[in-house]
Chain A
């Protein structure tokens, strides 16, 4: 009955000479690092958040290539944030890199367990179960006094390799760290998609049974992608926790997961750069539309999502590809 699933563009898998992704990632990272030196503080902050959320969406990318949409990435996003925040509160950890790694690791550990179950589900059931799990965390956090319940708690300013940056440099140093993490993560995921496991990822969406008949375990591929997604979401959560300086249970609410899905669809899954494009556009719309008219930004978002789904199923990124081919 269905004719158009969430379609993905064809990556230049079979034409390695034309793969410019690595160069593009490094170039963009360099541009951001340079531009950050002169950008206003609010821009540095927004970009940091956009990159952090972009990381979460990057984690969604492999899953979506198999045709699976997780409505529960907020579980790991929030878990990463709380893990990082609690490391600060209970163990006096303030190093940014350590916090980020803790966020990703805790998220990854949970995913190693949960993934065993979730990798057996498909279509909306995958979405619903991931949603339920994230709401479980939400429910737990909201009622836990020790963690501040609905108020959450604050996160102390970060240090990096032992020293605390000056007031003026705080945002820039964080932006730099996040940019480097985002660049490395993109390259890792990009490489992953070129490995046998990565190629099987795209095959699952088209014909999972054929893949099984070739002797592969689709479930294993999905499991690996799920864990990758969780670790990246954990990184993102930890970063936001530190950048914003505050954590609360809303980070696990289903609307947060919805935002990530939104960003993923907005830009598409054709390239590891697309998630960051999606996150940036989303953040831009959110900030500027919200300032202009707080009661219409969701409408604008909803309309954009609709337009993209209907007219550009491969996301905005496909506009780049069309321009290149022309």
Chain B
């Protein structure tokens, strides 16, 4: 039971708002953790701190034993942490295929395979195939082939989210943060989408943390749930237990029983 991410006493204030109050939590390798909480409870702040976008006022973050608290998003990503975004962050004027090629380019560049002098494409680390082949494979795995040559900005919302997540997997991250992966996706498609995403992640291996407001998605896909409120973690445990915790019902779910 080794901890891949360990947050210790994280604090963060924005003026009068306390976004994080003494947050301490350890994430086990290969676990799937759901993060729940109302808006402003501190979930996204937590992700932002762990991925290097925000620096905590105090406390520290360990990744695989290394202190990454002060590192930039770029450096954190290079160590094996990736994240997707609540509002999909894509290269809007580029096509879906080109978006994936950019992600592949970053991986190649970081691995030192510049490709200038090689007359065949360099091989992508982690996939051991040429970039175009990897890209086509990803298009297939995420059922994006129909959108291959369409610019990202005209894609429907759900597809944009899917692409956003697909991009994060290119780097074969050890830890993946998904920020509201199914928001903006219709109720019928949510499960199908998460199934696809989780299948892809499982086939690569890795730890996943995802923020969700849909309790059914949470209970189906996570093996552990962290409930946030007012900058603190108020509950921590398997979904059946956490989603029925009185505090969670009061502050997060709003009095409804979640299916366990």
Contact = CB atoms under 8 A, between A and B. Distances in A.
Touch between A and B in complex, CB under 8 Å? yes
Given A14-B95, A203-B94, A213 B83 contact: yes
Contacts of A199: 98, 101-102, 105
Contacts of B107: 215
Contacts of B98: 10, 13-14, 199, 202
Interface in B100-136: 101-110, 113-116, 132, 135
B243 interface: no
Contact of A14 (B72, B97, B108, B110): B97
B202 interface: no
A207 B83 contact: no
A120 to B, nearest CB: 14
Contacts of A13: 98, 101
Nearest to A5: B93
Contacts of A210: 89-91
Nearest to B78: A215
Contacts of A195: 105, 114-116
Nearest to A11: B98
Interface residues of B, number: 38
B74 A212 contact: yes
Contact of B89 (A191, A194, A213): A213
B73 interface: yes
A209 B114 CA distance: 22
Contacts of A8: 93
Interface string B29-67: 000000000000000000000010000000000000000
A211 interface: yes
Contacts of B11: none
B113 A7 contact: no
Interface in A264-283: none
A290 B132 CA distance: 50
Nearest to A206: B91
A8 B114 CA distance: 24
Nearest to A218: B74
- Which of A7, A194, A195, A205 gathers most chain B CB within 10 Å? A195
Interface string B67-80: 00000111001100
A10 B93 CA distance: 8
Contacts of B78: 215
B99 to A, nearest CB: 8
B90 A192 contact: no
B77 A214 contact: yes
A162 interface: no
B167 interface: yes
Given A14-B98, A195-B105, A199-B98, 4 more contacts: A10-B93, A206-B93, A214-B102, A215-B171
Q: Which 3 A/B pairs are nearest by Cβ-Cβ distance?
A: A196-B105, A215-B77, A206-B91
